[in-house]
Amino acid sequence: GAALAVPDKRVDSVCPYCGVGCQLTYNVKDNKIAFVEGRDGPANHARLCVKGRYGFDYAHHPHRLTVPLIRRADAPPKRGDFVMDPERVMEVFREASWDEALALAGGTLAAIRDTRGGRALAGFGSAKGSNEEAYLFQKLVRTGFGSNNVDHCTRLCHASSVAALLEGIGSGAVSNPVMDVTRAEVVIVIGANPTVNHPVAATWIKNAIGNGTKLVVIDPRRSELARSAHRYLQFKPDTDVALLNAMMHVIVAEGLVDREFIAGRTIGYAELEANVAGYSPELMAPICGIDADTIRYVARLYATSKASMILWGMGISQHIHGTDNARCLIALALMTGQIGRPGTGLHPLRGQNNVQGASDAGLIPMMFPDYQRVDNPAARAKFEQAWGATLDDRPGLTVVEIMHAIKRGEIRGMYIMGENPAMSDPDANHARESLAALEHLVVQDIFLTETAYLADVILPASAFPEKTGSFTNTDRLVQIGRQALEPPGQARQDLWIIEQMAVRLGLNWAYTHVSQVFDEMRRTMPSIGGITWERLERENAVTYPCTQEGDPGTPVVFTETFPRESGRARFVPADIIPADERPDAEYPMVLITGRQLEHWHTGSMTRRSAALDAIEPDPVALVHPLDLAALGGRPGDVVTLASRRGQVVLYARADDSSPRGAIFVPFCYYEAAINKLTNAALDPFGKIPEFKYCAVRVKLGGE
Ligand code: SF4
């Protein structure tokens, strides 16, 4: 329209928000993004959602950090209960040169390492950064700190799914791309709300339905997608294993298993069959709240279709039994042979734009790049040779474990790049106290996040459109994001900052171009060994596994074998484990946290995006209208939500998509940081916290 500026340049890139990985074009005028257009990428075919299309102006927000900052000697003591006021930043921090800031940041970490050992340090990398940034960050921690204490927000989203997938089928990534829903006869979406969290993926699901695919939505919250579903199962929160085992019981009892697939390609079926024998639909119906006939119908539908696909999200993974939930989904696919062909398989919808790539690149405490275990001597020897360093053989601590280790005095210094644990960690008051207790905290970010406020040194970094790198979407599609803008002021590209930190830690690094980092990754990561930087520049996207140059890439995997030692997948039975904290007389309701369409995770970007923030400006709790009426409240009233760990004040919104007794709150609002209430209890396998279930009470009014 007339309001759109005529751009100086158009830069082809990808969206910085979710794992769908939509390709887009930045239209740039005077070093500002004027507008964004969808581009014909494999995952989006020119479609974009509201975040991709309108959520770019955060990069130009006046709150951007443009100068290195050092905490003032006379700054008030670090406190976890800080409410952000970026206008008053200079009361706490002073400006510094890059040299001074890097010398202090790296020098103090090096001093802690030299006096207390490498395990006294930890690093959080970012699932929003590029593959190259993730790779260099973990390499810095492993070779510069000398420990494996490196993790990122995958721990908070799909760590349990990945644990189950690695154990069961030997690979933590998806078997089939989202687009395969258009080739499926039956699609199950469980514990996911794609319309909100993977919006363009949801449009492909709707297109599939238009062409006759039957959609089954299984979720305690009735998502928008449920309206288009052939069947919607509103099961009780926390009863996934009961429901899924009952479905498997039906499939066994009615002889709907794929005997040939089980015999030829799996192990452990007998144990699985014996386990689900005790889970008849009649027994499970009152537990999960779905009648036995519906359980039977959906089990038959899934098992007997020519191609059935399962997509899942945080509703499955964010429980102390998240790994068990995912084990059940894997078993469902294996026992019916619904994997290894187009239109079938298992798709954990990845959240961040590069959470898949950051995990692949080794930003996890128990694995080197490409999921090679740190306690495997052969893998360690390989990386010791590649990196010219002696590496720690002990798996490092995970996100939540690191917060506890700080409290115990075991971890004294941290380097956090592009993550905001003060908002995203469970039991956030505890997490903030831990961050405040560090002797030395270095934060590299684009805004003064709630985490950055607790830093000793803040390194001003680059926003997504200010740098070039590769990013791996939920489909295992490696795509190139290209620099469209110059960083503001003295803000620098993250790759440069990581490298400068490495030098201050005594490492002899000299990468001059992002492609050199990618080349090093190719040499140590067989899954992407065949992808060259030139090919990425030329083709924009290649799906791994791509082991040899010239390989076309592999969108559908496990067609012949599974990447386990035997080549066979493994069934792992699961039994019901209740949530760690159940409602009681004092805290009678259930809290479920998640995201909104307009806001991204801790809100540091989207709440600084004018269009998105205008649509959802205030913290809200979605309460069932009957629960709200029972309190004597009305929509828009202020309510206080409290758990055993903290309380927040926000606005009540009447919303009947959750069952009575369950309250849904997005975790993006710093004024009402809902993770102050959540429970830090962990799944024992994936070490993921139970964000999807804790006990709360609600009352009208503030405080
Ligand atoms: Fe960006 Fe995801 Fe929206 Fe696509 S669906 S435009 S990747 S946020």
> 2: pLDDT confidence band, cut at 50, 70 and 90?
very low
Please give the number of the atom of ligand 1 that sits closest to the Cα of 200: 5
Would the CB of 340 count as within 6 Å of ligand 1? no
Task: Give every CB contact of residue 395 below 8 A, 6+ residues apart in sequence.
Answer: 148, 365, 366, 373, 374, 375
> Which one, of 635, 662, 652, lies nearest residue 702 by Cα?
652
DSSP assignment string, 449-497: -TTGGG-SEEEE---GGGS-EEEE-TTSEEEEE---SPPSTT---HHHH
Q: Answer whether residue 667 shows pLDDT above 90.
A: no
Q: How much is the ipTM here? A: 1.00
Q: Which residue's alpha carbon is at the smallest distance from atom 4 of ligand 1?
A: 22
Ligand 1: centre distance to CA 202 (Å): 11
Please give the number of the atom of ligand 1 that sits closest to the Cα of 24: 6
Q: Could you tell me which residue, 675 or 256, shows the higher pLDDT?
A: 256
Q: Answer whether residue 669 shows pLDDT above 90.
A: no
Structure tokens, 9: 């340049």
Ligand 1: centre distance to CA 355 (Å): 14
Would the CB of 443 count as within 6 Å of ligand 1? no
Give the mutation target among 15, 26, 195, 595 for probing the ligand 1 site: most ligand atoms within 8 A of CB: 15
**Per-residue model confidence (pLDDT) at position 631:** 94
Q: Which residue's alpha carbon is at the smallest distance from atom 1 of ligand 1?
A: 52
Distance (Å, whole) CA 82 – CA 48: 36
Structure tokens, 600: 């991204």
Task: Give every CB contact of residue 238 below 8 A, 6+ residues apart in sequence.
Answer: 319, 578, 579, 692, 693
Distance (Å, whole) CA 35 – CA 23: 14
Residue 377: cis peptide before it, omega within 30 degrees of 0: no
**Per-residue model confidence (pLDDT) at position 189:** 98
pTM, full prediction: 0.95
Would the CB of 18 count as within 6 Å of ligand 1? yes
Ligand 1: centre distance to CA 20 (Å): 6
Q: Answer whether residue 86 shows pLDDT above 90.
A: no
Q: Which residue's alpha carbon is at the smallest distance from atom 3 of ligand 1?
A: 49
Please give the number of the atom of ligand 1 that sits closest to the Cα of 473: 7
* Beta-sheet strands, E only, within 241-307: 266-267
Distance (Å, whole) CA 655 – CA 294: 25
Q: Report helix, strand or coil for 700.
A: strand
Distance (Å, whole) CA 338 – CA 344: 5
Structure tokens, 550: 């010239």
Would the CB of 51 count as within 6 Å of ligand 1? yes
Distance (Å, whole) CA 507 – CA 376: 24
Would the CB of 17 count as within 6 Å of ligand 1? yes
Structure tokens, 497: 């900052």
Would the CB of 49 count as within 6 Å of ligand 1? yes
Q: Could you tell me which residue, 47 or 351, shows the higher pLDDT?
A: 47
Over residues 104-138, the pLDDT tens digits come to: 999 999 999 999 999 999 999 999 999 999 999 99
Distance (Å, whole) CA 460 – CA 466: 12
Ligand 1: centre distance to CA 350 (Å): 12
**Per-residue model confidence (pLDDT) at position 84:** 61
Q: Which residue's alpha carbon is at the smallest distance from atom 2 of ligand 1?
A: 18
> 82: pLDDT confidence band, cut at 50, 70 and 90?
low
Distance (Å, whole) CA 49 – CA 43: 13
Please give the number of the atom of ligand 1 that sits closest to the Cα of 199: 5
Would the CB of 349 count as within 6 Å of ligand 1? no
**Per-residue model confidence (pLDDT) at position 1:** 44
Over residues 308-331, the pLDDT tens digits come to: 999 999 999 999 999 999 999 999
Q: Phi and psi of 384, rounded to 5°?
A: -60, -40
Ligand 1: centre distance to CA 622 (Å): 24
Would the CB of 365 count as within 6 Å of ligand 1? no
- C-alpha triplet 248, 250, 251: angle, nearest 5°: 65
Ligand 1: centre distance to CA 88 (Å): 34
Distance (Å, whole) CA 43 – CA 316: 23
Structure tokens, 211: 């062409």
Please give the number of the atom of ligand 1 that sits closest to the Cα of 15: 1
Strand pairing of 121-124 and 93-95?
unpaired
**Per-residue model confidence (pLDDT) at position 599:** 86
Distance (Å, whole) CA 598 – CA 616: 7
